[in-house]
Structure 1
């Protein structure tokens, strides 16, 4: 297996874990799956650093490993434990239809990248198609999940897809990597405050119950 084959294998594994995120129906396995996705992404970025001879990408890999593989999952576990959040993931659409929609989005990603990257090599098509798939699957997760914690994980999965796209496109400037790390940290702080306020006001983080409280019944 050549270097490019390994890069594509790792990127494809990130997409597979995006599907696994859609499959989970409890918060602890969902958080574990997100940590696994971030770990594989960190390995993918580190591998790209070697194949592209871009040592600065190791900083991105370290950020992924430290923040989204270790720190953020620990904070999310602490949040659901201390807020006594119900650990079942509330879903809008069943798992089966969601997975089918996810497969359609992956096909759409491949088709779009085939047209958008027509002037570059076939390997770049695969890199960008994988990255766009992760982004779209993250958006799908945010649409089909009602629990605020699961939507937070969907948002961070989208960010994983953006990092995958940037590293596959011959890396990112150091300033972009720093901004990504800072934005994740700020988002984590804001999310923590947001969840505490929701729990304090409504005694729940189920967005459907909050809509009912406002009189917006589905």
Structure 2
């Protein structure tokens, strides 16, 4: 049973890393949101499996919250924001796809080396999950850096937060009150982000970060 627990947890956590690369590869906003919803589904399955392995029933609530908010509510809300703002559906990157993927592979390798050395004294299952979680966090940060569209930057931030949830559950879970507060924090952040996107689009007719930078330079 221990070998099965390790293999399934390894598969699900590795799936999150793979989907992070899929997020980096996408060049259409709707496809990007669909892939993010898929990542949330895999995260929910990973957390639910950890709940079963650790016999921690409160983690089932975490899995349900992740599925409801990140696989359903947030993608649907962002779909509506894109439709209402008439945002350009293509996603532009600061650098090309090839260098981005190579940079992502380097970050995954760095995560494995760093985490396997730092967490050498912890349980093997938790050690692997922490390494994968750090990979997801770094890939989310990379996505925020290379994207020019504000909505895709938001998706990168949400993906980064998925990695933090994976790390928290892999490290023998977290208190239920923390899980609920995180869920409400994400919801509030989504509302605030939606308001800012509407205001930015209304004021500048774009949510392209580089266009906003150029506007700021013209004001100077």
TM class by shorter chain equals over 0.9
**7, 11, 14: which one aligns with 1:12:** 14
| 93-102 vs 1-10, which moves further | 1-10
1:197 aligns with 2:199: yes
Give CA-to-partner distance per residue, 1:34-86, whole Å, 9 cap, x none: 00000000011011111110010011101111000000000010000010000
Mapped pair 1:142 → 2:137: no
Matched, 1:117 2:119: yes
1:37 corresponds to which of 31, 36, 39: 39
Q: In 2, distance between residues paired with 1:160 and 1:146?
A: 21
TM (norm. structure 2) is 0.96
Give 1:121 shift. Answer: 3.3
Counterpart position of 2:56: 54
Partner of 2:72: 70
Aligned to 2:128: 126
How far, CA to CA, are the matches of 1:11 and 1:82 in structure 2? 35
Give CA-to-partner distance per residue, 1:190-216, whole Å, 9 cap, x none: 000010011000000001111111117
Question: What is the rounded CA distance, in whole Å, between the counterparts of 2:110 and 2:151 in structure 1?
Answer: 27
Distance 1:66 1:123 in 2: 26
Secondary structure, aligned partner of 1:214: helix
Q: Distance in 1 between matches of 2:17 and 2:178?
A: 23
Unmatched 5+ stretches in structure 2: none
Between the two proteins, the alignment pairs up a number of residues equal to 217
Deviations along 1:115-146, whole A, 9 cap, x unmatched?
A: 21121233332111000000000000000001
CA separation in 1, counterparts of 2:75 and 2:125? 32
Q: Output the CA distance in 2 between the equivalents of 1:212 and 1:188.
A: 26
Q: Is the 8 A contact 1:21 1:30 kept in 2?
A: yes
Alignment-derived partner of residue 172 in structure 1: 174
Aligned with residue 90 of structure 2, among 88, 91, 99: 88
RMSD: 1.2
Q: TM-score, normalised by structure 1?
A: 0.97
Which consecutive unaligned segments of at least 5 residues does structure 1 have?
A: none
Contact 1:110 1:125 in 2 (8 A): no
